[in-house]
A and B are shown apart, each in its own frame.
Chain A
């Protein structure tokens, strides 16, 4: 499936709009990683564990978005946007949304 954050697709023509599709995940990190992160807050540097965690949850919400788009019979999702919010201490929500469309070769 074609995923893009532009509102047009180069070389393709949008033949049908199928509306908004979205996917979201809420993830929490485990306590062990939190202790490591606490230490890192003293020394500085990248928190690889968190980078990975957020990356994985983003992949998962993208998968959900794609499944929704497939169910609608779309072959592309355009105008994709991400949004992250930390809803509680130690948990964050990753939200991704876009427009499901049917595209054809021009």
Chain B
């Protein structure tokens, strides 16, 4: 009986988890393409081109849960050692999603670039015990915003060339 429950959970985790993952990756790829123009740099100090910009803190965060299949697969993996692919994709998804949300935040402010990108990862495990329950990733950085003067100048330039 217990074995049946285990197998059902495993199957549910496998199918729904995979579905969620591929759906999430499709969404990530689409949005990464859309936000490619907004620079995100981990450098601490922006180049001189941004010396007159305004700045503000922007951030994005996401909590992603493991599925049952991943938990079991990773558990087996820890017996033999080696790469834990199940968790790699999970963290990859979380990081990229967090960066995208940060970029969305920056876009709302009308930013030109984001500098000094920092990541912060933490583990949230409620009833998972030693295993990974879910991860939270926070991405934050300083968005450089054009000043009102710069905006006016850009509009004027665009009109002149038009």
Taking a contact as CB atoms under 8 Å apart, the answer to whether B62 and A81 are in contact is no
Taking a contact as CB atoms under 8 Å apart, the answer to whether B44 and A7 are in contact is yes
Set A5, A34, A38, A55: member contacting B57, Cβ < 8 A: A5
When distances are taken between beta carbons in the complex, the residues of chain A under 8 Å from B84 are: none
Taking a contact as CB atoms under 8 Å apart, the answer to whether B70 and A50 are in contact is no
Interface size on B, residues (CB 8 A): 51
Which of B31-39, B73-81, B125-133, B153-161 is the interface stretch? Answer: B125-133
Question: For chain A, which range describes its interface: under 10, 10 to 19, 20 to 34, or 35 or more residues?
Answer: 35 or more
Give, as a whole number of angstroms, the nearest-CB distance from A77 to chain B: 9
Give, as a whole number of angstroms, the nearest-CB distance from A53 to chain B: 9
Set A43, A54, A55, A85: member contacting B17, Cβ < 8 A: A43
Give the distance in Å from the alpha carbon of A80 to the alpha carbon of B122 in the complex. Answer: 18
Q: Does A26 contact B (CB under 8 A)?
A: no
When distances are taken between beta carbons in the complex, the residues of chain A under 8 Å from B57 are: 3-5, 80
Taking a contact as CB atoms under 8 Å apart, the answer to whether B71 and A11 are in contact is no
Taking a contact as CB atoms under 8 Å apart, the answer to whether B142 and A6 are in contact is yes
Taking a contact as CB atoms under 8 Å apart, the answer to whether B64 and A46 are in contact is yes
Taking a contact as CB atoms under 8 Å apart, the answer to whether A42 and B55 are in contact is no
Q: Does B59 contact A (CB under 8 A)?
A: yes
When distances are taken between beta carbons in the complex, the residues of chain A under 8 Å from B52 are: 10-11
Known: A11-B51, A11-B54, A54-B63. A5 touches B126 (CB 8 A): no
Binding site for B on A (CB under 8 A): 2-11, 34, 37-38, 40-47, 50-51, 54-55, 58, 80-86, 89-90, 92
Query: In the complex, given contacts A4-B56, A43-B20, A86-B125, what are 14 additional A-B residue pairs having Cβ atoms less than 8 angstroms apart?
Result: A9-B55, A10-B50, A11-B52, A37-B126, A37-B133, A41-B67, A42-B67, A44-B20, A47-B65, A47-B134, A50-B63, A82-B138, A83-B120, A90-B126
Binding site for A on B (CB under 8 A): 9, 12-13, 16-17, 20-21, 24, 44-46, 50-57, 59, 61-68, 70-71, 97, 115-116, 118, 120, 122-128, 133-134, 136, 138, 140-142, 144, 147
